[in-house]
Amino acid sequence: NAGVTQTPKFQVLKTGQSMTLQCAQDMNHEYMSWYRQDPGMGLRLIHYSVGAGITDQGEVPNGYNVSRSTTEDFPLRLLSAAPSQTSVYFCASSSSGYSNQPQHFGDGTRLSIL
Amino acid sequence: DQQVKQNSPSLSVQEGRISILNCDYTNSMFDYFLWYKKYPAEGPTFLISISSIKDKNEDGRFTVFLNKSAKHLSLHIVPSQPGDSAVYFCAANTNAGKSTFGDGTTLTVKP
């Protein structure tokens, strides 16, 4: 059982470039989310989705876009990369958005913006 | 303003002893609290949770205590094992499905 799969694991970009971080889950989970983790800090919510076709902003959405065309996939797009977006990005899923549901995380994408 | 705080960045304990990790929160609307464990180069994994209407939840060596009046929760690990060495995140959920995480506490269990 793969769980939550993130690709790529590592990426280096130049300022101004765009890219898409991929996230896929095979657990038929309705709720998916993207977080970023900066050194010494916790995870901050970027965007989330409660089901296919439905997305909403989290705490730090600026500079990122998401879409959810299928239950399985939830890609995160960086529109024009900036050094401040250097971080580790985690995708997560849970069976629903109810507060008692734990999230299942991927292993992260380590992104460096030069 | 940080709504979930883990004031101890690190904790070191001897194998076999108790580890106590603390977490404070400010938002009374949180209705579920979860602890996640994270090893290097991996994503966080769920450990244990507690509802805001409970004051204790136990799962094997792990117990979470909630003091709602003090807006404080703690994770107890007894006995601590070297494999417990990891970063522990406290997370608080609202019924809208959003999670707010603390900054984490790095636990080191010495053999």
- B-chain CB neighbours of A48 within 8 Å are 97-98
pLDDT, one tens digit per residue, over A93-102 is 998 877 788 9
What secondary structure does DSSP assign to B67-106, as a single string? ETTTTEEEEEESS--GGG-EEEEEEEE-TTS-EEE---EE
B50 touches chain A (CB under 8 A): no
**CB B51 to CB A100 under 8 A?**
yes
**CB B41 to CB A45 under 8 A?**
no
pLDDT, one tens digit per residue, over A31-89 is 999 999 998 888 999 999 999 999 999 999 999 999 999 999 999 999 999 999 999 99
Comparing CB atoms, the residue among B4, B9, B49 nearest residue A102 is: B49
B89 touches chain A (CB under 8 A): yes
B8 touches chain A (CB under 8 A): no
pLDDT, one tens digit per residue, over B39-95 is 999 999 999 999 999 999 999 999 999 999 999 999 999 999 999 999 999 999 987
Give the start-end residues of each E strand in A1-114: 4-7, 10-13, 19-25, 31-37, 43-51, 54-57, 64-66, 76-78, 87-94, 104-105, 109-113
At A67 the pLDDT is: 95
pLDDT at A1 over 70: no
Q: Which residue of A has its CA nearest to B6?
A: A42
pLDDT at B2 over 90: no
B45 touches chain A (CB under 8 A): yes
Helix, strand, coil share (%) of chain A residues, nearest 5: 5, 50, 45
pLDDT at B106 over 70: yes
- B-chain CB neighbours of A96 within 8 Å are 97
